[in-house]
Amino acid sequence: MRLNRVDLNLFVVLDTIYTERNLTRSAEVLCVTQPTVSNALARLRKSFNDELFIRSPKGMVPTPLTENIIGRVRESLQMLETSVLEGDVFAPASCDRTFQLSMNDDTAATLLPELMETLAQQAPAMSLQNYLIRRRDLFSALASGQLDLAIDVIGRADPQLCHEPLFKERYVCLVRHDHPELGDSISLEKYLSMGHVHVSSRPSGLGVVDAELNRLGYQRDIRLRMQNHYTAPEVVSRTDLLLTAPSHWAHRTSLKALELPLVLPGLQLNLIWHRSADNDQASRWLRERVIEVYKNLSR
């Protein structure tokens, strides 16, 4: 196969199908029709004389040949993209790109007011869209370009993902000031015996607190699981329930903060992006602004 006889855009399709494992989703990511993706795959199969992907109940499964070449294909695509981006001179004032971000509502409330103020002053034509992507889907969303940046804990290490630590915060136990059973401290026995409010942007799965409790052989009594970070303190203020939350919540509510009766890993939030966007000047500029906001907050 001679390279000058192959449409290089087909390798973008190959990379997208490998990431999405589904022709319909690949078409959505590439902003084309599914027949267009199917036609591109047929041309690739003819060029490589291989099926490249096999349909299965789990989606499009790559063949051994695809697995062998995908790493080099991605490296080549990244080099081409970097070459194009480095040739541009980035001017924030004239940048009209829309960036897709993923963060929960608590993080958004912390970051977006100051970040949008900065954009209004320095990059008035730049737009942001924020919506939460499930942690297990972050890699594919970043790899496919569906998502530009995420602020989250690191779910899994991957050489294709870059990240920058933003801040680490300890957890505290929040209760109402006139709680009938608690004073200025709480024992582990009391902590485990009482009802809890658990806040998570995900509908299921263990959070940091419960994962650590399970590791230690304990389990707490969750009476309310919810996604809204701002309703939870209101619930706690009118009940005897406990809320284990990052320490900055204590400054946002009228609740009393107690030291936890066990040591939990701190909440480490990271700015995450795909390696292919590492040298994208507009993305780099936006990442630097996000980091600045958190540095200002830490001061």
Q: What is the identity of the amino acid at 159?
A: P
Looking at residues 115-134, what average pLDDT do you find? 94
Q: Residue 166 falls within a domain, yes or no? A: no
Count of domains in the chain?
3
pLDDT at 298 over 80: no
Please name which of 176, 171, 172, 187 lies closest in space to residue 256, comparing C-alpha atoms: 176
Q: How confident is the model at residue 265 (pLDDT cuts 50, 70, 90)?
A: confident
pLDDT at 297: 78
pLDDT, tens digit, 9 for 90 and up, residues 214-230: 988 999 999 999 887 78
Distance CA 38, CA 35 (A): 5
Residues 240 and 286 reside in one and the same domain: no
CATH of the domain at 99: 3.40.190.10
Better pLDDT: 135 or 285? 285
Looking at residues 43-56, what average pLDDT do you find? 92
Domain boundary, last residue among 54, 70, 86: 86
Q: Residue 148 falls within a domain, yes or no? A: yes
Q: Are 53 and 63 in contact (CB under 8 A)?
A: yes
Buried/exposed code over 101-111 (b: 16+ C-beta within 10 A; e: otherwise): bbbbbbbbebb
Q: Residue 271 falls within a domain, yes or no? A: no
Looking at residues 187-203, what average pLDDT do you find? 89
Average pLDDT, the chain: 87
Q: What is the model's pTM?
A: 0.65
Distance CA 297, CA 282 (A): 23
pLDDT at 112: 94
Residues 100 and 138 reside in one and the same domain: yes
Which sign does the torsion angle of CA 260, 264, 266, 270 carry?
negative
User: Cβ atoms within 10 A of the Cβ of 223, count?
Assistant: 15
Q: How confident is the model at residue 111 (pLDDT cuts 50, 70, 90)?
A: very high
Q: How confident is the model at residue 210 (pLDDT cuts 50, 70, 90)?
A: confident
pLDDT at 55: 92
Q: Residue 160 falls within a domain, yes or no? A: no
Residue that is written with structure tokens 């607190």 in the block = 209
Q: Are 58 and 21 in contact (CB under 8 A)?
A: yes
Q: Are 271 and 287 in contact (CB under 8 A)?
A: yes
Residues 222 and 290 reside in one and the same domain: no
pLDDT, tens digit, 9 for 90 and up, residues 233-262: 999 999 999 999 888 887 788 899 999 998
User: Cβ atoms within 10 A of the Cβ of 266, count?
Assistant: 14
Q: Residue 51 falls within a domain, yes or no? A: yes
pLDDT at 79: 73
Q: Provide the 8-state DSSP code for 94.
A: G
| Least confident among 100-104, 117-121, 209-213, 217-221 | 209-213
Q: How far apart are the first and last CA of the chain?
A: 58
Task: Domain of residue 287: give its range.
Answer: 92-153+278-298
**Sequence-ordered list of residues with C-beta below 8 angstroms from that of 93, at least 6 positions apart, any chain:** 122, 123, 124, 125
